Amino acid sequence: MRDEVLRRVRAAVATLVLAGLLVAPWVVDDYTAAILARTLALGLVGVSVALLTGVAGMPTLGQTAPYAAGAYASAVLGSQVSDVGVVQVAVAALAGATLAAVTLPLVVPARGVIVLMITLAIGELVVTVLGRWRSVTGGTDGLAGIAGVRPFWGLPVLATDQARYLYTLVVVATLVGAVLLLLRTRAGVLLRAGRDDEMRLRASGHRVPLYLSGAHVAAGAIAGAAGSLLVVAQQYISPADFGFDTSALLLLGVVIGGTASVGGALVGAALVIAVRDWLFGVLPGHAPLVLGALFVATVYLLPTGVTRARRPRPVPAPRPPDVAPTRDRDATPELRV
């Protein structure tokens, strides 16, 4: 019964938030609309982080890499080939997915903290490349004056911050809906199973590395698409948009939102970005400290995040008296599938 109530409350909150997001452009000023659009794009990257960290069990600090790949692909394409939004989103997703695919051999064999370190390194590498490859990326100055997009063939170019925000909202809602649907299929169940107990999943004959690869490429595509939205929202991008601080904030947001929850990731990422921007004004220079404290508090007080305070608590396993502690499931050298 409590679960039922909880579900209804959550659905009601989600509906309210969505309604709020829909009317927002008529309520807020241009500047805020632009900020909101950017926050939505970051929230979508947060969703990709949640997909990897919470659902698939691969904690990542590197989703800024496909995000950047998508953003630059979209910006370059926008100024040279097509100004149609859906085309740019598709190309950006492809760029993000491709980058994720290229890094698969590094990411998929790794586990736990090692994944964090590797993905962090990939993210940093991408930022460095963006800074150096001046002819295409404009170097650390970034790309400015990016042409506006028309959402679809035959539609006008988005000319106001409000219009750009609504476009972002529609794309984010569509993609988040797609992710939620995907997670309800067998793919979602298998990813969660792998996170719960990877060895058990293998012992049943599943090709776990294949699933992790799929999740990683899908997350790359989502982050890439978000990159395209950032370009629309800001009309300017530079390597600074994809630095380590962004990765760290996203992971923080996802942890706050409850790692395995896609909606939570959106809320968490938005919350963290808002807190950062707000603190930046109130307490110049101290924002990282406050966010760090928030992170520690979250991890200790709400191990499953704010959107998911309840979770199955394992019943402690009584050890039968005649059985010595077993070690057969860890610490032994493992064969490759």
Partner 1 sequence: MNCLLSAEKISVRYGSLAALTDVDLCVHDGQRHALIGPNGAGKTTLLSVLGATTRPQRGTVRFVGRDVSRLGPAARARRGINRTHQRPAVFATLTAIENIEVAALPRTIRRRRWSPGGTRGAARRTAAELLDQLGLSDLATVPAGHLAHGQRRQLEIAMALAGRPRLLLLDEPAAGLSATEVGRLAELLAALPRQVAVLLVEHHLDLVYALCDTVTVLRDGRTVAAGTPDEIRTSPLVRRAYADGVS
Phi and psi of 336, rounded to 5°?
-85, 150
Of 126-134, 242-250, 262-270, 319-327, which segment contacts ligand ATP by CB under 6 A?
319-327
Stretch that binds ligand ATP, among 124-132, 236-244, 309-317, 318-326 (CB under 6 A): 318-326
Quick one: angle between helices 244-257 and 64-80, nearest 10?
A: 120
Q: To the nearest whole angstrom, how small is the minimum distance from the Cβ of residue 314 to partner 1?
A: 5
Q: Please state the closest distance from residue 191 (CB atom) to partner 1, in A.
A: 11
Q: Which does 310 bind (CB under 5 to 8 A by kind): partner 1, ligand ATP, none?
A: none
Question: How is residue 85 written in tokens?
Answer: 């939004």
Kindly state the smallest distance separating residue 221's Cβ from partner 1, in Å: 24
**In this chain, which of 323, 333, 334, 335 binds ligand ATP, going by CB under 6 A?**
323
Under DSSP, the state recorded for 141 is G
The CB-of-13 to partner 1 minimum distance in angstroms stands at: 22
Cα–Cα distance for residue pair 61/82, rounded to 1 Å: 31
Contact status: 326 vs ligand ATP (CB under 6 A): yes
Integer Cα distance of 173 and 266 in angstroms: 11
CB 48 within 8 A of CB 251: no
Closer to ligand ATP at the Cβ: 4 or 334?
Answer: 334
Q: 323-332 — which CB contacts under 8 Å span 24+ positions?
A: 329/199
Of these partners, ligand ATP, partner 1, none, which one is at the site of residue 80 (CB under 5 to 8 Å by kind)? none
How far is 110 from 169, CA to CA, in rounded Å?
A: 35
Interacting partner of 334 out of partner 1, ligand ATP, none (Cβ under 5 to 8 A depending on kind) = partner 1
Tell me if 335 contacts ligand ATP by CB under 6 A. no
From the list partner 1, ligand ATP, none, pick the one residue 141 interacts with, judged by a Cβ distance below 5 to 8 Å according to partner type.
none
Residue numbers at the binding site for partner 1 (CB under 8 A): 186, 189-190, 192-193, 195-197, 199-208, 260, 311-315, 317-320, 322-324, 326, 328-329, 332-337
Beta-carbon contacts of 242 under 8 Å, excluding residues fewer than 6 positions away, are 64, 65, 67, 68, 71, 123, 126, 127, 130
Nearer to partner 1, 284 or 316 (CB): 316
Q: What would the DSSP string read from start to end of 19-30?
A: HHHHHHHHHS-H
Is residue 80 a contact point for ligand ATP (CB under 6 A)?
A: no
Q: Which of 317, 332, 334, 335 binds ligand ATP (CB under 6 A)?
A: 332
Contact between 324 and ligand ATP by CB under 6 A: the answer reads: yes
Q: Which of residues 222-261 bind ligand ATP (CB under 6 A)?
A: none
Cα angle 267, 122, 34; round to 5: 35
Determine the size of the site formed for ligand ATP (CB under 6 A): 7
Name which of ligand ATP, partner 1, none residue 337 binds, using a CB cut-off of 5 to 8 Å depending on partner kind: partner 1
Answer for which of 1, 159, 331, 335 binds ligand ATP (CB under 6 A) is 331
Q: How far is the CB of 319 from ligand ATP (least distance, A)?
A: 11
Which residue do the tokens 């989600």 mark?
Answer: 14
Is 268 exposed, middle or buried (CB count within 10 Å of its CB: 0-12, 13-18, 19+)?
buried
CB of 298 vs partner 1, minimal distance in Å: 20
d(CA 70, CA 220): 9
How far, in Å, CA of 18 to CA of 156, rounded?
25
Does 301 help bind ligand ATP (rule: CB under 6 A)? no
What are the C-alpha distances in Å from 252 to residues 263, 271, 306? 15, 10, 12
